[in-house]
Structure 1
Amino acid sequence: MSLIDPSVPKWVVDLQSLPASRSKNSSIPDPPGYPSQSAALSKKQASKEAKTQPRKQPTTEEMDTLKLKKAWEVALAPVKSLPMTAIMMYMSGNSLQIFSIMMVFMAFKNPIMGIISTNQAFERFESESNKGKIIQAKLAYVAMQLVALAVGIWKVNAMGLLPTTRSDWLAWEAQREPLELAVPAL
């Protein structure tokens, strides 16, 4: 006689009981990227053995090389955002709208803040042995920030806000003294 209550649905009984373990059919290979259970267990054991071995500490020359590579990545980072900034400025148009004004403000604010915080950006990479090489990266960083600032100046000029024509300076231009005066006759 069975101990299963007839009032309990079959799916509840199936959820409460564990499925019977099936033996793996060796004629069906594992799908690509899914190793078999024995291979997975051997990888776990190998990783445990690898974890027990202590890691060799890098030398100061290796650390300086890594720090210098990271410093150059930081130095060249402003240039990576320039194409997108230039496209956004071009697409925003040359009229005075809130979007174009915000774009110009950000085009000036970000490079100026970057130039001001140059030493802070590179202080984590600087050591006594690589100080001269870090200065090169700092100079490249400042040059890239100036290029980013030039994109902002280009946009301000395109909007007509830079006084580059003669008519922009008429208030300061001296009035010419005529050589002769003509008086109309009555």
Structure 2
Amino acid sequence: MSQNTVPQWVADLEHPPQPRPKNSSIPDPPGFPSQAVSGKKQSKGPAAAPARKPPTAAETDTLKLKKAWEVALAPVKNLPMTAIMMYMSGNSLQIFSIMMVFMAFKNPIMGILATNQAFERFESDGNRGKMLQVKLAYVAMQIVALALGVWKVNAMGLLPTTTSDWLAWEAQRDPIEHAVVAL
């Protein structure tokens, strides 16, 4: 190969081959108008595609409300995996189960505290009343996630739910009778 010859791929980049004529038996995909209309080429600028009308305020509010509901129901989507992880970690006090319990309490509490920040991008003047319902649903879902953490703590035996857990605060009973040892 001599030094003056150029590889074929370089020649193709410098002088691309002519496009083949379109086979008219294959229809264009939806949303892609054909290049040749009645023998003339369309301009490839923004005017070639039909202009889309901007959404109305009601349509925008509806879309924002749908997205807000997706955010509100997201904590429930994580519950099955969290429950399985908690079940599999066991009920003994180990670093993994302690970390699972910590995360089970931390995430819902932080979610409840950041409720307004989670939904401020979806809120507008037209949907304020409906956003209150979404926020309440979000808080309810976070409480359900928190209840899962309480279940795990109870399963680990860390909640004081039995009488023996409260013996320090029980009053000692005064005996009605006394027994004397006979000699």
What TM-score do the two structures reach when normalised by structure 2? 0.77
Q: Shift of the alpha carbon at 1:55?
A: 3.1
CA RMSD of aligned residues (A): 3.3
Matching of residue 149 in structure 1 with residue 142 in structure 2: no
Matching of residue 128 in structure 1 with residue 146 in structure 2: no
Q: How many residues are treated as equivalent by the alignment?
A: 167
Matching of residue 42 in structure 1 with residue 39 in structure 2: no
Counterpart AA for 2:61: D
The CA distance in 1 between the partners of 2:96 and 2:43, in whole Å, is 57
Q: Shift of the alpha carbon at 1:56?
A: 1.4
Matching of residue 179 in structure 1 with residue 172 in structure 2: no
Select which of 85, 92, 113 maps to 2:110: 113
The CA distance in 2 between the partners of 1:147 and 1:120, in whole Å, is 20
Structure with the higher helix share, 1 or 2: 1
Q: Secondary structure at the match of 1:129?
A: helix
Q: Which runs of 5+ in 1 are unaligned?
A: 24-34
% of aligned pairs identical? 72
Change (3 A) 1:86 1:180: same
The CA distance in 2 between the partners of 1:58 and 1:176, in whole Å, is 76
**Deviations 1:90-137, CA, capped at 9 Å, x for gaps:** 001111111110000000000000001111111111112211111001
Q: Secondary structure at the match of 1:58?
A: coil
Counterpart AA for 1:152: G
Q: Which runs of 5+ in 2 are unaligned?
A: 19-28, 37-41
Counterpart AA for 1:123: E
What TM-score do the two structures reach when normalised by structure 1? 0.76
